[in-house]
Amino acid sequence: MALVQHHVQSLPGITLHTIPTKKYKTTSITLQVKRPIIEEEVTKRALLPYVLQSGTKRYPSAQLLREALDQLYGATLHVDLSKKGEYQIISFRMEVANEKFLSDRTPLLEEAFALLSEVVLHPAQEKDAFLADVVSKEKRSLRQQIQSIYDDKMRYANKRLIELMFENEPYRFNVYGDEQALDEITPASLYAYYQNVLAEDEFDLYVVGDLEEEVLQTLTKKHFSLARREQHVQSEVSSRNVEKVKEIFEEQEVQQGKLHIGYRTHTTYKDDDYLALQVFNGIFGGFSHSKLFINVREKASLAYYAASRFESHKGIIFVMSGIETGNYAQTVKIIGEQLSAIVTGDFSDQELAQTKAMIRNQILETIDDATGLVEVLYHEVISRHKRTIEEWLDGIEAVTKKQIVEVAKKVQLDTIYFLKGKEENKVEAASV
């Protein structure tokens, strides 16, 4: 039997994905809403889900809506934003108990569908605008979220790297938007944008749990009736050649310097060498047996963390490590040497076997978790490329050393960003 049963059905305006399983004590419902990253819209799009979860026609305030969720045995509703390749995605996630594990057996699934539909399709509004006080509250809250990135230095450094590395591409925008654009949003402009989202965006609904496809079809048709829409235009991933490596320093009062490095790989999810790139990343910095961890942390004792991460749809590898400001040059050199080692084939059969085993384990573990599973399945929607879990597993197993060297040769260093501490801080640190 397949590792995951995934039934896909196109309904008007929305695609239903049913994943029946007896693994969980809850049912999870995820609605993904997709469109390309558009400069003028990034912040509006970031604000929209927060406004939607703050009141509906039937439950006009956040408090009333939250009470309704509590009554459904603590059903949860989370909204989330993400950038995947050239797209900015809004996610609504709801999780509701499977009543068979409760002493009170009132059916909860349909109620959950109805509530999610309320939030997404029937917001509280007046005269073609969202409620003014809701919008102003959510603007304030989003502003605070944008500002708080600065306070988490790892996130901040990552954000700066992306802004600098993609200075001429839409990918540079932070998924939460920016403060200036936030000022200009009005209840009416946001509502107009929302209408446009309902008419044009691509909606995918994933339901994971102990359930039947026919029931879900009926529920989806009943609660998520959307207008049919044109076939969506795919956003082309731009893959630029690096002309000159950027090296950028910024200074703040931090105890530990944050080193973030971006590479272009020129390979994305839909490409044939994607799985080879996955294995490359695993050897380079994905795990605790990887070259970065061993050489930066274990051998040189320079850092607590030194890792690399891969963005599947933009084809980017990010390396990050927290180090003493004075160790910058040494660390950058060691990281560079690790990439060169892979390019010249300097990695053992054991590193290769270990990496494959870890990736296999990672995939199987990810699909044990409903959220992780939906993330994996949603790759297909983003890339328009189907790859079953079995194909993933077999594909990883089949990757050869030669393929890894080939894919490593394509990896180009683009930008080095270093958030360094102030000198006086170092003196302070030494005298603790």
Partner 1 sequence: MKQLQFDQLEETLHFKTLANGLNVYILEKPEFNKTYATFTTKYGSVDQQFIPLGKQEKVTVPDGVAHFLEHKLFEKEHGDVFQDFSKQGASANAFTSFNRTAYLFSTTDDVKKNLQTLIDFVQAPYFTEKTVEKEKGIIAQEIRMYDDNPDWRVYFGLIANMYHRHPVKIDIAGTVASITDITKDDLYECYHTFYHPSNMLLFIVGPVDANEIMSMVEENQQAKSYSDQPPVTRFFDEEPSTPAKKKDVIYMPVQTPKCYMGYKEAQPNRQGKALLQHELSVNVLLEMMFGKSSKNYETLYSEGLIDPSFAFDYTEESGFGFSMIGGDTTDPDRFAEQIATMVETFKKEPLSQQALDRVRKKKIGAFLRALNSPEFIANQFTRYAFNDMNLFDVIPTFEGLRVEGLQEVLASHFQESQLTICQVKKKQ
Specify the residue, 145 or 186, whose C-beta has the smaller distance to partner 1: 145
Is residue 249 involved in binding partner 1 (CB under 8 A)? no
Q: Give bridge partners of residue 56 from the DSSP assignment.
A: 123
Reduce the DSSP state of residue 120 to 3 states and report it: helix
Q: Tokens representing 242?
A: 């690096």
Give the C-alpha separation, 1 to 338, whole Å: 40
Q: How far is the CB of 419 from partner 1 (least distance, A)?
A: 10
Q: Does the protein bind partner 1 through residue 400 (CB under 8 A)?
A: no
Which of 8, 9, 13, 24 is in the footprint of partner 1 by CB under 8 A?
24
The amino acid at 117: S
When the beta carbons of 62 and 242 are compared against partner 1, the nearer one is: 62
Those residues whose C-beta lies under 8 Å from the C-beta of residue 341, and which sit 6 or more positions away, are: 291, 347
Which of positions 122-161 make contact with partner 1 (CB under 8 A)? 133, 137, 140-141, 144-145, 147-148, 150-153
350 binds partner 1 (CB under 8 A): yes
Q: How far is the CB of 300 from partner 1 (least distance, A)?
A: 8
Count of residues that interact with partner 1, criterion CB under 8 A: 73
Interface with partner 1 by CB under 8 A: which range of 41-49, 265-273, 286-294, 310-318?
286-294
Minimum distance of partner 1 from residue 106's CB (angstroms) = 11
Among 31, 47, 190, 302, binds partner 1 (CB under 8 A): 302
Cα separation, 333 vs 261, in Å, equals: 12
Query: Does residue 95 contact residue 31 with C-beta atoms inside 8 Å?
Result: no
Tell me if 353 contacts partner 1 by CB under 8 A.
Answer: yes
Q: Can you tell me the distance from the alpha carbon of 362 to that of 279, in angstroms, rounded to the nearest whole number?
A: 12
Measured from the CB atom, is 265 or 327 closer to partner 1? 327
Q: Which of 7, 25, 58, 309 binds partner 1 (CB under 8 A)?
A: 25
Q: Whole-number minimum distance, CB 96 to partner 1, in Å? A: 8
Contacts to partner 1 from residues 165-204, by CB under 8 A: none
- Residue 113, SS3? helix
The nearest distance, CB 431 to partner 1, in angstroms, is 9
Minimum distance, C-beta of residue 324 to partner 1, in the bound complex (Å) = 7
Our CB check for partner 1 shows the closer of 156 and 194 to be 156
The one segment of 61-69, 114-122, 196-204, 310-318 that binds partner 1 by CB under 8 A: 61-69
Residue with Cβ nearer partner 1 (98 or 267): 98
Among 324, 330, 388, 406, binds partner 1 (CB under 8 A): 324
Strands 202-209 and 14-20: parallel
Q: Which structure tokens are listed for 300?
A: 């040189």
> Binding segment for partner 1 among 121-129, 199-207, 241-249, 348-356 (CB under 8 A)?
348-356
Min CB(238)–partner 1 separation in Å: 32
| Helix, strand, coil abundance in the chain, percent, nearest 5 | 50, 20, 30
Q: Which is nearer to partner 1, 169 or 369 (CB)?
A: 369
Of 2, 10, 22, 214, the one binding partner 1 by CB under 8 A:
22
Write the DSSP symbol of residue 293.
I
Q: How many helices (H) and strands (E) does the chain have?
A: 16, 13
Q: What is the DSSP string of 94-110?
A: EEEE-GGGSSS----HH
For 354, the enclosing helix (H) or strand (E) is: helix 349-366
> Can you name the residues that pair with 262 across neighbouring β-strands?
318, 415
Kindly give the pairing relationship between strand 246-251 and strand 76-84.
unpaired
Q: Does 253 bind partner 1 (CB under 8 A)?
A: yes
39, 298, 390, 423: which one binds partner 1 (CB under 8 A): 298
| CA–CA gap between residue 43 and residue 142 (Å, rounded) | 9
Minimum CB separation of residue 372 from partner 1 in Å reads 11
Q: List the interface residues with partner 1, window 71-130 (CB under 8 A).
A: 71-76, 95-98, 101-103
Asked whether 305 and 322 are in contact (CB, 8 A), the reply is yes
Q: Which H or E run includes 32?
A: strand 26-36
Please identify which residue in 367, 376, 399, 404 interacts with partner 1, judged by CB under 8 A: 367
Q: Whole-angstrom Cα distance, residue 318 to residue 297? A: 17
- Three-state DSSP at 385 gives coil
DSSP assigned state of 247: E
- Which position among 18, 26, 158, 338 is part of the footprint of partner 1 (CB under 8 A)? 26
Interface with partner 1 (CB under 8 A), residue from 85, 123, 177, 322: 322
Q: Which CB, 252 or 403, lies closer to partner 1? A: 252
Element (H, E) at 317: strand 316-323
